[in-house]
Chains A and B, each alone.
Chain A
Amino acid sequence: MYKKSILNSKKIKQLLFSAVFLMVSVLSLPSFAQEAAPKAEEKFNPKDVILEHVGDSHSWPVFGNVVISLPVILYTDKGLELFSSENIREEEVNGKPEPKIYQGKYYSYTSEHDKIVVVDAVGKVDEAASKKLIDFSITRNVASMWLGMTILLVVFLSMSSAYRKRSGKGPKGVQSVLEPLVMFVRDDVAIPNIGAKYQKFIPLLLTMFFFILINNLLGLVPFFPGGFNLTGNIAVTMVLSVITLVVVNVNGNKYYWKHIFAPDIPLWLYIIMVPVEIIGIISKPFALMIRLFANITAGHIIVLSLISLIFIFKTLWVSPASVLFVVFMDTIELLVAFLQAYIFTMLTALFIGMAVEEHHH
């Protein structure tokens, strides 16, 4: 702390040397990406790869061919089935993917386009029984959501216990990173929009903000345990917007409902305004859902498409341009991750504020 210059040249030189050494040593290793004997020239199909990365699946790829098989939990009309998804993962037999059939307690199962269907012993799909199958499996989205929740719980519980132990002293450690964010949500999002009654809603707003933020950010990390697409799953965003819908309408006071069903307008406009307002109750959370889903999914698809350019052209010389584009798009995605969390939280606070505000005139 008492050095004359911040840039300590000896340390910088050591850092630079070790970085260059590591890069050169990696380049000299034999390349593991080539297969032993190339099969018949298959055209790279970017659409399948991208949809597989953006969608959900029953296994979680860790590194190359290493994959974590997540449990499959099925509720059939005869009872509960539980087995590892390794039993039904497709495997390559002579270059052609062959679906495996698993004999469960009640039926036999296989996975067709990543959806579990009931088959008989030969492999013919049994339509009627498949329709009655309810899939409660721990898929990649569920496991990654638990990971995000664990991170949130650990960080915030440790932060709150640190506040209790060091009450009155200045913030230290993770507190100093998160306290500005929490105060930003409180002072710039909750209080201006909700007004005096913000205390009741602050836990919800903070949870929404940090849940969306952490899942967006983890989705941008390219290696395990990141790289999943949770907030780009429309079911997840639907649940978040349903929470907004429920909270806004349960807390709506007399003036809120009066604005919707009996607004202060000339009588002949009622026939237009009242249906529009009623549709507006549903369409505002609907827009929240679509906005978050489309932004995050579109970002992931763009990054994956730009990387697929290398595989489509099959040359190494495309990679500098492609990687540069991808880095640029990823920086924008970082901004979008934070922005979408903020917009979702702010619009929720706005709707809550509209629901609880007192009559002015």
Chain B
Amino acid sequence: MTGSIAAIGAGLAVIGAGIGIGQIGGKAVEGIARQPEAASKIQTNMIIAAALVEGVALFAVVVAMIG
């Protein structure tokens, strides 16, 4: 087996990020479908929430890189 356990850890963390951002995107698109006039506000909030969730996932990547 090549590579290290750290790569497995980083991969697991990315699963969490994928699920989280997928949920955010899905709900945002649903919201836009219900009320198209609010599209730009919903989009702004979606991007902000996605960046915050991605920050948490990158915590794990950083720990994997250092370890």
Q: Using a CB–CB distance below 8 Å, which chain A residues touch chain B?
A: 287, 290-291, 293-295, 298, 339-340, 343, 346
Q: Are A295 and B58 in contact (CB under 8 A)?
A: yes
Contact between A343 and B61 (Cβ–Cβ < 8 Å)?
no
Q: Is the beta-carbon distance between B51 and A290 smaller than 8 angstroms?
A: no
Determine if B33 is an interface residue (Cβ-Cβ < 8 Å). Answer: no
Q: Name the residue among B47, B51, B52 with the largest chain A CB count within 10 angstroms.
A: B51
Q: Which of B52, B55, B59 has the most CB of A within 10 A?
A: B55
Q: Which residues of B contact A346 (CB under 8 A)?
A: 48
Whether the pair B58, A294 counts as a contact (CB closer than 8 A) is: yes
**B62, CB-defined interface residue at 8 Å:** yes
A-B contact pairs, 10 of them (CB 8 A): A287-B56, A290-B58, A291-B51, A291-B55, A294-B62, A295-B54, A298-B58, A298-B61, A339-B51, A340-B51
Please list the 10 inter-chain residue pairs (A to B) with the smallest Cβ-Cβ separation, ordered nearest first: A294-B58, A291-B55, A343-B51, A294-B62, A339-B51, A290-B59, A290-B62, A294-B61, A295-B58, A287-B55
Q: Is the interface of A mostly helix, strand, loop or mixed?
A: helix
> How far, in Å, is B50 (CB) from chain A's closest CB?
9
| A193 CB, nearest partner CB in chain B, Å | 12
Q: Secondary structure of the B side of the interface?
A: helix
The reply to whether A295 and B55 form a contact with Cβ atoms under 8 Å apart is yes
Of the candidates B47, B48, B52, B59, the one whose C-beta lies within 8 Å of that of A294 is B59
CA distance A339 to B54 in the complex (A): 12
- B residues 35-67 near A (Cβ < 8 Å) are 47-48, 51-52, 54-56, 58-59, 61-62
- Please give, as numbers and ranges, the residues of chain A lying within 8 Å of B48 by CB-CB distance: 343, 346
Q: Which residue of B lies closest to A188 (CB)?
A: B44
CB nearest neighbor in B for A335: B47
CA distance A290 to B13 in the complex (A): 15
Contacts of B58 in A (CB 8 A): 290-291, 294-295, 298
B52's partner among A293, A298, A343 (CB-CB below 8 A) is A343
Known contacts A343-B48, A346-B48; is-contact A293 B62 (Cβ 8 Å):
yes
